[in-house]
Structure 1
Amino acid sequence: MGKMRKVKVGAEDPVLSYIESDKYTDYKGRMVDPRKHGGLRAATLACVVEIMTSTVTLCNGVTLVDYFLKSMHYSVSDSSIMVTNFLGTSYLVSIFWGFISDAYITRFTTFVLSGVSELMGLLMLTYQSQNKNLQPPENQTPSYTQAVFLYIGLYGTAIGVGGIKATLAAHGADQLDQTNKPLISSYFSWYFFSICIGALLATGGMVVIKENYGWSTSFQIMVLLTSLALCTFVSGFSLYKYKRPSGSALSRVIQVILYFVLVSSVRNRKVSNAGNLDHEATAGLLARDQAHEKLKFLNRALMDNKVTIAQIKETKSFLGLLPIFATAILMNCCLAQVLTFSVQQGSLMNRTVYNFTIPTQVLAVGPISISIISIIIFEQFKKGMNKNNNNSSKFYQPLVRMGMGLALVTTSMFIASIIESKRVEEFKNGNTISVFWLAAQYILLGLSDTLTMGGMMEFFYTEAPESMRSICTSLTWCSSAMGLFMSSLLVTLSNSVSGRFGMEWFGGKDLNHSRLDLFYALLCFLNFFNLWLYIYFAKKY
């Protein structure tokens, strides 16, 4: 039997000490003074900045379809795909920025660089909206030069949005006492509240401005808001705590996996409790990590002297988050329906209230308003429970909230299927039902969004390794991106498969001649299965 490898414990492992270091510095690189640096003031700045950046991002998501369609003369399908790709790219690229801010530069620097990228992109879009030479003539698609200018501005904006999403939430949480878990939990609730306020301003305010004053004015306001967000964020530079980068965590994770595969592939080297590892020392080190019982097979990588205990902990923590991340994608696929089919449903329903017609784009305000109200109620209820010293409620745990959110989105798709079936039936009878029939699915989707997205941000931040908090927080936005792409994929697949049986679900000229009710039923079934998968992974975690 081979020689047992001794594992150093505690601060004697320099890599462990470096990776797990929770020391923060001020902007000059000195140790922070809790009386001067960080705290609620610094965290509040992050929430204020998020309101402005979310307003810009979601305004683009809501209004760019019309801009591509009416000013740039793309087709309806191309315009919709372009917006989906824009939002999807914005959220997916957050992983790249998260990696950069964890490994090489501070979150503050990452935010500033990405904010400048978004501002430059918006300036290009603003200039194009005002310059007729950069717009195609009537009934013509853009020239090569016009399209290149558009795409550079569009994806410069997307790259910037990704960096802001990757860093701002984690930067704000960094300012707080990491041992005060209730405070961290409340921070993420109010951070999500800021996102919802931005969404409300975008759908309820910016849409109206665009309709009355045009895209040029809308773009100018977005440039102003982005500039103000950058200035507001930078103004707190002397107040912030800065977490120093710890090198490429992904490289360390990949190294552990590669050495595990290498060690496992050598058949004549068998690992047992009495084998080549000092398991007692290993268990002592890993006992501080709540995930040390999971993924024990990765301990085999310690047989190679190049792998440290710190890397094993880091790898286990990161890989343990991925199943939870995967089960959140389908929920975001359902939320994507609010921006697409639910709005189209509303346009075919009776939207008149006391001689006032509700604008179609404003219908998305419904679930957003529900999210805002539910966050306020949730935080007030939690505050009351804390005053009664009842901190043991499992309801506040992120995994429980996420599970409740996934259950609600399943229910919302079931109700949406029934309501759509009734709407089409009434249409065939010559009647038009009220848009308020959509209230039930909007309420459930709003509550689901609050519980799931808020819980995800808190969960990925608090459970992430110290060295990977930006990239793990970015998983929240990656699930949103994949949800958008999955929505488009499911529509295409369901249309293709149903067409083989005689009728495409979305083959009609509008939703009155389509089978959206069956598509919602499909989403309900998929979400029900996904919910059980989530429960399994959450219990394993």
Structure 2
Amino acid sequence: MAEIVNTTTKVDTEEDDTYTKDGTVDYKNNPANRKTTGTWKACPFILGNECCERLAFYGMSTNLVLYFKNNLNQHSATASKNVSNWSGTCYITPLLGAFFADAYLGRYWTIAIFSIIYVMGMTLLTLSAAVPGLRPTCVSHEDCHATSKTVAVTFLSLYLVALGTGGIKPCVSSYGADQFDEDDEVENKHKSSFFNWFYFSINIGALIAGSLLVWIQDNVGWGWGFGIPAVAMALAVVSFFSGTRLYRNQKPGGSPLTRICQVIVASWRKRRVRVPDDKSVLYETADAKSTIVGSRKLDHTKDFR
């Protein structure tokens, strides 16, 4: 009898070691196998995606004011205002992307769908600067005239890029962190190393964009200056999809904005309720899993009581 119990315990232990403990799943929606998914096996594809995406973004946006002035024939103030409005949109849309990732799509599909939108925007921007009939008519390098159709296509492409970056920016770093099981001591230590490489990838992309691509735009032409970032973004999509079988995915657990609103409403409705003397009864019951399906449970502390 004791031998049977020991054998059963050994099998259970082996099964526990086979799969991740943080609830992640593989691309088939099965529990993620720690030996065949995640960790540094999956990270190169995510880092490659981020490097190419940042190269595309900064390569397209760094010199945008000059493009508006010289090619769309806009006044300096108008060009600066248009770039500021577009840049502001790029920093607002991540709220939308984060909401869809947390509540409905998950990080993988959010990155995938918005990356495709991103490529569409970059391709359209390249066409608006290179294809006869769409590109501005230029007498000299600084004397160009753009039709209303050219301006419309340019701004449509830019705001598609703003929408695309909104789905990528809030998800990629977190998706990289998902590849390391925080409940595993060894993997959790590697997570900080991933973020070092992640920011290194960002800076490499920005460095190439701010030097080489700006020079190409100023000296070769805007067709090449926008075309190379478009190709870089296409490579980013290819890099991301190439690692699909290796990724660990967190299931969507609902939007944190919804839970914040629930807390505010509950706090207001219970504003007259007497606080119990035993503060421990205010905490979520001690359990291994979160009551919110698909979300990780955070330990309660008294640091901010």
State the TM-score, normalizing by the size of structure 1.
Answer: 0.46
Contact 1:50-1:191 at 8 Å conserved across structures: yes
Aligned-partner Cα distance in 1 for 2:243–2:273: 55
Contact 2:22-2:181 at 8 Å conserved across structures: no
Aligned-partner Cα distance in 1 for 2:61–2:147: 24
Aligned-partner Cα distance in 2 for 1:257–1:56: 40
Secondary structure, counterpart of 2:168 in structure 1: helix
Secondary structure, counterpart of 1:88 in structure 2: helix
Q: Which runs of 5+ in 2 are unaligned?
A: 1-20
Q: Does 1:226 align with 2:229?
A: no
Kindly indicate which of the two structures has a greater share of residues assigned to helix: 1
Query: Measured at CA, do residues 466 and 143 of structure 1 come closer, stay the same or move farther in structure 2, by a change above 3 Å?
Result: farther
Q: Does 1:148 align with 2:152?
A: yes
Q: Which residue of 2 aligns with 1:245?
A: 252
Q: Which residue of 1 aligns with 2:275?
A: 272
Q: Which residue of 2 aligns with 1:77?
A: 77
Q: Which runs of 5+ in 1 are unaligned?
A: 1-20, 289-308, 312-464, 469-538
Match of 1:260 among 260, 267, 288: 267
Contact 2:137-2:144 at 8 Å conserved across structures: yes
Q: Does 1:127 align with 2:127?
A: yes
Contact 1:245-1:467 at 8 Å conserved across structures: no
What is the identity, as a one-letter code, of the residue corresponding to 1:203? G
Query: Measured at CA, do residues 26 and 218 of structure 1 come closer, stay the same or move farther in structure 2, by a change above 3 Å?
Result: same
Q: Which residue of 1 aligns with 2:219?
A: 212
What is the identity, as a one-letter code, of the residue corresponding to 2:50? E
Q: Which residue of 2 aligns with 1:168?
A: 172
Query: Measured at CA, do residues 69 and 47 of structure 1 come closer, stay the same or move farther in structure 2, by a change above 3 Å?
Result: same
Contact 1:246-1:467 at 8 Å conserved across structures: no
Secondary structure, counterpart of 2:33 in structure 1: coil
Contact 2:45-2:242 at 8 Å conserved across structures: no
Q: 1:273 Cα deviation (Å)?
A: 1.9
Query: Measured at CA, do residues 153 and 128 of structure 1 come closer, stay the same or move farther in structure 2, by a change above 3 Å?
Result: same
Q: Which residue of 2 aligns with 1:91?
A: 91
Q: 1:287 Cα deviation (Å)?
A: 11
Q: Which residue of 2 aligns with 1:497?
A: none
Aligned-partner Cα distance in 2 for 1:84–1:273: 51
Aligned-partner Cα distance in 2 for 1:127–1:234: 25
Query: Measured at CA, do residues 284 and 240 of structure 1 come closer, stay the same or move farther in structure 2, by a change above 3 Å?
Result: closer
Q: Which residue of 2 aligns with 1:103?
A: 103
Contact 1:44-1:172 at 8 Å conserved across structures: no
Match of 2:201 among 182, 190, 194: 194
Secondary structure, counterpart of 1:73 in structure 2: coil
Aligned-partner Cα distance in 2 for 1:245–1:467: 14
Q: Which has the higher contact order (CA 8 A, sep 6+)?
A: 2
Aligned-partner Cα distance in 1 for 2:287–2:37: 32
State the TM-score, normalizing by the size of structure 2.
Answer: 0.80
Write out per-residue CA displacement over residues 290-341 of structure 1, whole angstroms, 9 at most, x where no aligned residue.
xxxxxxxxxxxxxxxxxxx958xxxxxxxxxxxxxxxxxxxxxxxxxxxxxx
Aligned-partner Cα distance in 1 for 2:120–2:297: 30
Aligned-partner Cα distance in 1 for 2:145–2:218: 23
Q: Which residue of 2 aligns with 1:47?
A: 47
Give the CA RMSD over aligned residues.
2.8
Aligned-partner Cα distance in 2 for 1:133–1:74: 19
Aligned-partner Cα distance in 2 for 1:270–1:211: 67
Contact 1:47-1:191 at 8 Å conserved across structures: yes
Write out per-residue CA displacement over residues 484-512 of structure 1, whole angstroms, 9 at most, x where no aligned residue.
xxxxxxxxxxxxxxxxxxxxxxxxxxxxx
